[in-house]
Amino acid sequence: MVVFVYDTIILDALPSRSDRRLTLIHRSLEEVDQELTALGSRLVTVIGDPIEEIPQLAEMLRADLVVASHDDEAYALKRDAEVTRRLAATGRKFETVKDHVVLERAEVLNNSGEPFRVFTPYSRKWWEIVTPADFAERDPNLAQLANADSLMGVAPGNRTMAEVGFTDTDLWLTPGAKGGQERLNNFLTKIARYGEDRDIPGIEGTSGLSVHLRFGTVSIRECFRAAMTSETAGSRKWQTELIWREFYQMILAQFPHVGQGKTFKPETDAIHWPGTDEHFRAWCEGQTGYPIVDAAMRCFNATGWMHNRLRMVVAMFLTKDLLVDWRRGEAYFADLLLDFDLASNNGGWQWSASTGVDAQPYFRIFNPILQSRKFDSEGKFIREWCPELRDLDNKQIHWPFSDDGARTLETPSDYPNPIVLHFEQREKAMALFQAAESGR
């Protein structure tokens, strides 16, 4: 039988009772229930603490074995250990299996048997040891599914959103395996140009599959199999990006402190980030006076999604221009990201903040204006999300001020002043890291 637990330990910690992720999960489960019903079975759901609910359900069903996917987050490891203990006390087994990555945990090690700390050699080793069997499609025996009649009176099928304690929200993507397959098929028609188009937020140049990969509505193995049908530079680039995802999952498993508020690089843990609450709020609200940053944050707040290039731009702006602790940005993303995954979110933030594994060197600091000119050259993305700048020309739209940040005759009256100047803040960021390196 197939069971889903609406984990109240996780759900009760969410800041809003209108969460896009829960809407996506709920609608995806509706699809699962329909497919199980067509096979003569049905979905079973429970609401509560898994530590209590899973052993109780196993007892009720007289199940000998409970199987779930591996999860290397600290909460999940503690939860699964307690579920294992409680099931074992009644003579039952709990097993977790590899699912959401191709190679995991300690499967990719260097020649000394240690986990990699740099992506490129990790990626080379990944390709050396992966086999066709690792990409193979699984073929479960669906004939062994529990009959729907045998589940009568055991537990309900999918609950309503109200029963779970949330309200339904709008989604910009089709949920479920159907939505994942549609998006993958669409991406395959343009995968050859992925290398050229992936950094341009004004077009659909990325796969858009991060949400589906996060929630298991598309298989990582299927993504690799599909990519391998295209022998193009774009396909190879996308596969490299998928391996970055595996790299960050490995880092979380091997260096769990990164998921507990600690930097990967110990010397950067002591940095005192002097950024202000006022600047953090302006960043959150898309009111910094830097058009590409503001457009990205406004889009994020409205949709729960952000283009990968823009994730790097806004993260580096928060940490290197506003000098705000990366943990605050990581937490803000964790609250709103539709594709939130601890390993990838933490990896991306620490990369941008120069505190993480194989991170951007601290002295390489994105200039948000140059990033805007390079990757949104015609201002298409900015015009969509900062309509007050819509009438500016393709040069002014990236920086509607004078060189020293003063307003000009062309600066729209309803657009905010820049809250900092990049060239000044860059020097301050450099000094922060230089002091950390010298131990001051």
| Domain CATH for 56 | 3.40.50.620
401: three-class secondary structure by DSSP: strand
Do 11 and 28 reside in the same domain of the chain? yes
* Amino acid letter for position 206: T
Among residues 308, 367, 384, 394, the one annotated as catalytic is 308
Rounded-to-integer distance, Cα 192 and Cα 190, Å: 5
Instruction: Give the domain-ending residue among 225, 254, 283.
Output: 254
**Count of domains for the chain:** 3
Among residues 126, 283, 305, 349, the one annotated as catalytic is 349
pLDDT tens for the chain, 440 residues: list them: 999 999 999 999 999 999 999 999 999 999 999 999 999 999 999 999 999 999 999 999 999 999 999 999 999 999 999 999 999 999 999 999 999 999 999 999 999 999 999 999 999 999 999 999 999 998 888 988 999 988 888 778 899 999 999 999 999 999 999 999 999 999 999 999 999 999 999 999 999 999 999 999 999 999 999 999 999 999 999 999 999 999 999 999 999 999 999 999 999 998 999 999 999 999 999 999 999 999 999 999 999 999 999 999 999 999 999 999 999 999 999 999 999 999 999 999 999 999 999 999 999 999 999 999 999 999 999 999 999 999 999 999 999 999 999 999 999 999 999 999 999 999 999 999 999 888 75
- Whether 437 is a known active-site residue: answer no
Structure tokens at 35: 């497919």
- Residue with tokens 């992506």, as numbered in its chain: 119
145 falls within a domain: no
Domain that holds residue 202: 99-136+179-254
Do 340 and 377 reside in the same domain of the chain? yes
* Amino acid letter for position 374: K
Q: What is the pLDDT of residue 152?
A: 83
Say how many C-beta atoms besides its own lie within 10 A of residue 40's C-beta: 13
- Whether 346 is a known active-site residue: answer no
Q: CATH code at 227?
A: 1.25.40.80
Q: What is the pLDDT of residue 437?
A: 82
Among residues 273, 367, 384, 394, the one annotated as catalytic is 273
- Whether 349 is a known active-site residue: answer yes
- Residue with tokens 């503690």, as numbered in its chain: 78
